[in-house]
Amino acid sequence: MRAALDPEGEETVSDSVLVTGAAGFIGFHVARRLLEDGRSVVGLDNLNEYYDPALKEARLEQLGEHAGFEFVKLDVRNRDLMRTLFEKRRFASIVHLAAQAGVRHSIDHPHEYVDTNLVGFLNVLEGARQQELDHLVFASSSSVYGANQAQPFDVGQGAGHPLSLYAATKRSSELMAHAYANLYGIPVTGLRYFTVYGPWGRPDMALWRFTEAILEGRPIDVHNRGDMQRTFTYVDDAVEATVRVLDEPASANPTWDGSDPDPSTSSAPFRLLNVGAGESVRLIRFIELIEEATGRHAQKRLLPMQRGDVRAATADLAALEALTGFTPSVDLAEGIRRFVDWYREHRQARAA
């Protein structure tokens, strides 16, 4: 169901979950899961043109099949309309997934990242402090670990050396969230997602780009000669972790010690968690699995390391598992097969 924000409308109190970025990749999957669980969802998105809006519209069509879904077309950067939204609506909780994504895009378009990831998040935080939320869960990124070398990445490590502006905005959003948790008692959890992939994914991400090029017989660009290591997280696993965390509001850590501060918890109701898979692989192996799933050989252009890239990113999930009991269930080979099957169907439907 589509809805325009009516500044003159009556105030509405509900037990809905507000999902920002609901037409985006992870936002769509989270919203769909919540709806399938019987929850009411208000989905917010601006349907921008960072990639084909038709893909976002197709996701919304699927969400619109659920009676409990309401869509509000709204840009989180719009301070006045965001304020009106929170004045007129009351939400049980918020899953904030709206963001300007992409490490490489941030090199040439830095203002988009500050405007969306910082100003937009500030508008969400300002709205959240006016409400009695059960929980605010927001998307951070594994990219915040930046120049850290210790593997696997643990949320107890520092994250003070980001290698891209995208990573810097995500780390900044964590600090902003902590400040609001401390000042206003908002239960806030930041999720550091590790390379989420799967059906309905983003066309700018490696799996989509590589699959498309391989099926079309075009070469793929392989940076650092494929000598990079990543934790790839199947979207269903990322969603399962997100929903479990949503139902476990952050609370103050009674043992938190300011003289030896744990960066992942606080004396405020704040926490940080990694969301990833139980394995990490080299980029070359990732490409081999795409070749197996497509039945095609990849033509590779071996290129130097790109600015802003991290050489290795492996997730330590101990804190997430201790809180929720979550363990990932979809291995990389199976996840890639599922994506390739979906992509072929999507491409065929688009060509029809």
Residue-level pLDDT at 310: 67
pLDDT tens, position by position, 28-75? 999 999 999 999 999 999 998 878 899 999 999 999 999 999 999 999
The verdict on whether 197 is a catalytic residue reads no
The percentage of residues in the chain with a pLDDT greater than 90, rounded to a whole number, is 75
Sorted by sequence, the CB contacts under 8 Å of residue 67 that are 6+ apart come out as none
Query: Span 227-252, mean pLDDT?
Result: 94
User: Residue 228: its pLDDT value, please?
Assistant: 78
- Of the candidates 166, 193, 197, 234, the residue annotated as catalytic is 166
Domains, the chain, with CATH or none: 2-347 (3.40.50.720)
DSSP state of 8: T
238 pLDDT higher than 90: yes
Q: pLDDT category, 8, cuts 50, 70, 90?
A: very low
Per-residue pLDDT, 4: 45
Residues pairing with 303 in the sheet: 223
pLDDT at 272: 98
pTM of the model: 0.94
Mean pLDDT check: name the lowest of 32-46, 231-245, 299-313, 316-330: 299-313
Cα 225 to its chain centre, rounded Å, is 27
Is pLDDT of 1 > 70?
no
Residue 328 has pLDDT above 60, yes or no: yes
- Please, which residues have CB within 8 angstroms of residue 110's CB and are 6 or more apart in sequence? 165
Cis status of the peptide bond prior to 199, with omega within 30 of 0: no
Q: Are 99 and 48 in contact (CB under 8 A)?
A: no
Sign of CA dihedral 77, 32, 51, 312: positive
Establish how many alpha carbons lie within 13 A of residue 10's alpha carbon, considering only the half-sphere containing its beta carbon. Answer: 3
Confidence check: pLDDT of 3 > 70: no
